[in-house]
Amino acid sequence: MHHPVWNYDVSSAPILADITVNGQAIKAVAVPSKEAFLYVFDRVTGKPVWPIEERPVPQSTVPGEKTSPTQPFPTKPPAYARQQIKVPDDLIDFTPDLHAQAMKLTERYRFGPMFNPPSVAESTGWLGTAYIGNGIGGTNWTGGAYDPETHIAYAPAANAGVASLGVTEPPKGFSDIRYLRGVKGQPFAEIWGPGDCCAADSGYRTRDDLPGPPPAAPDTPQIPPLNVQGLPLVKPPYGLIAAIDLDRGDLLWQTPHGDTPDNVRNHPALKGLTIPKTGQNGNVGLLITKSLVISGDAQMTTTPAHPRGAMLRAYDKKTGKEVGTVLMAAPQSGSPMTYSVDASSTSSSRSARS
């Protein structure tokens, strides 16, 4: 992308795939992404397998900032998870009251399409640009998987990572950069920078050196969080797994991944309602076997079906239907793996037999 002002770095490992498109054999490389696009290139020539179009995108309103007038959009495959928050269609609607609260919250943030740039934020006015994706959406460093027999790729995706991108002028002497992330009228403090600690010119060398934020003045306005009574601002699914045919560039199926989080299942505003499986927002990888897609939950839950824990789940590769689970003592972190012990195939997320 051009002049990136978002956290859309390419964090997933590339997938090598030998595919057949319109009868032509192509040695391809496919890359899942935080923006929920699967980018597919000819790995011999570097050219995209399907056209990538330059399309107009919203422009920055921050004084002195100039963003690119266009950004690249793959024509195939289609996005496999949310890329924007459509108001009102994507907002929570378990009850009319919760939906109304969500609508009220949107009055303080700038919503728009993908690549909507950061905006100036002020405690008593606009609170910045609301976005989905970035560092907490789509597919992160855990990446995806590929079946070389069927030419189908599988990608996990966080689908409810809503946050804001607001900028403000920092305190005098803090930086020579005119605008930094923050909200005018709120306490301003340095947070962890690239790597393990601090920005290169900050003067700090370890996390312990970083001072905490200064105390807020008694009359400091409260910033409303981008949720509704602790519930996600957007509708389920909160996390999913998608299957993508790399011969045709088609999205085959999506399925919610993970139990409904406890704070949703047990929320007093939802008492008496039947909430379907929502999936879980989080960053977990997956593996594939001859017939299964396997991935673990990103969160701990307690449900009528199992004691407190996280589930390792197996899905039918062809349909996305869940076909088996194993209780784990902790959530998955990273990606499962397969290995062989005494000629017996095993998969582990910590370890569970496939």
For the segment 98-138, what is each residue's pLDDT rounded down to a tens digit? 999 999 999 999 999 999 999 999 999 999 999 887 667 89
Quick one: pLDDT at residue 206? 78
Q: By mean pLDDT, which of 64-68, 93-97, 213-217 is the weakest?
A: 213-217
Which has more confidence, 261 or 222? 261
Secondary structure E strands in 213-331: 227-228, 231-232, 239-245, 250-256, 287-288, 292-296, 301-303, 306-316, 322-328
Which tens digit of pLDDT belongs to each residue from 205-251? 777 777 777 788 888 998 989 999 999 999 999 999 999 999 999 99
Q: Percentage of residues in the chain with pLDDT exceeding 90?
A: 76
> How many degrees, rounded to 5, is the angle at CA 191 between CA 187 and CA 193?
150
181, 165 in Cβ contact below 8 A? yes
Radius of gyration of the chain, Cα coordinates, nearest whole angstrom: 22
Q: What is the mean pLDDT of the chain?
A: 91
Using a 10 angstrom Cβ sphere, with 0-12 exposed, 13-18 middle and 19 or more buried, the burial of residue 45 is exposed
Pair of tokens at residue 267: 């929320």
Q: What is the structure's pLDDT at 348?
A: 58
Count the residues in the chain: 354
In this model, does residue 353 exceed pLDDT 60? Answer: no
CA distance 79 to 250: 10
Residues 91, 138 contacting (CB under 8 angstroms):
no
Report pLDDT for 344.
61
Structure confidence by residue, pLDDT tens digits, 13-46: 999 999 999 999 999 999 999 999 999 999 999 9
pTM: 0.91
